[in-house]
Structure 1
Amino acid sequence: MNQKGFTLIEMLIVLLVISVLLLIAIPNVTKHNSFINEKGCKAFLKTVEAQVQAFEMETGGKPTSVDDLITGGYLKEKKCPNGYDIVITNGVVSTSE
């Protein structure tokens, strides 16, 4: 009986190696995901600041809220990638942490 195929021991070893790789990879992915969202929020804040300046140049006044930028067509959304709301106070852009 010379059958070709994998034995149960070989399959268990392969499953063990795959599970160890998953245990190593999953925490790294979740850690990098929060880092990416934080960087994305900082970049979005810079974009909103630029749109505030564009709003000031075109209208001659500062926007009172993010809704002014959205209704004027300067922005499409008012949330950062990490879920925080963007707030404009006296022309200064920040997040509502």
Structure 2
Amino acid sequence: MNEKGFTLIEMLVVLLIISILLLLVIPNIGKQQDTIQTKGCAALQKMVQSSVEAYRLDNDQLPDSLTVLKEQGYITTFKCKNKLELSYDKTNGTVSLP
């Protein structure tokens, strides 16, 4: 009997190794979720700040609110994925994280 293939023991060892790797990787993904959300919100803040500048260049004035930017199509949202809204200071045209 000279058949080529895997034995049951070999398959069980491979499944054991894959299971151990998954047990090590999955908790780390959950821990990184907050970091991912924070970096995503910071990127959104920079994009909205750029849109404020684009609005200022197009209209020679700062927008009254971020809602104006959304209504005129400069941005699609000013809320982060974790439901926090960016804040906007009209006096100097800065967008900041909550």
State whether TM-score is above 0.5.
yes
User: Which runs of 5 or more structure 1 residues have no equivalent in the other structure?
Assistant: none
Corresponding position of 2:34 = 34
Q: Deviations over 1:10-37 (max 9, x none)?
A: 4433332121100111122223343233
Q: Deviations over 1:39-89 (max 9, x none)?
A: 222122111111111212222332222111011111011222444212212
User: Which runs of 5 or more structure 2 residues have no equivalent in the other structure?
Assistant: none
Alignment partners' CA distance in 1, 2:78 and 2:2: 64
What is the Cα-based RMSD across aligned positions, in Å? 2.3
Query: TM-score, normalized by length of structure 2?
Result: 0.72
Query: TM-score, normalized by length of structure 1?
Result: 0.73
Map 1:19-58 onto structure 2 (within 5 A).
19-58=19-58
2:42 touches 2:97 (CA, 8 Å); kept in 1? no
Matched positions, count: 95
1:95 to 88, 94, 97: 97
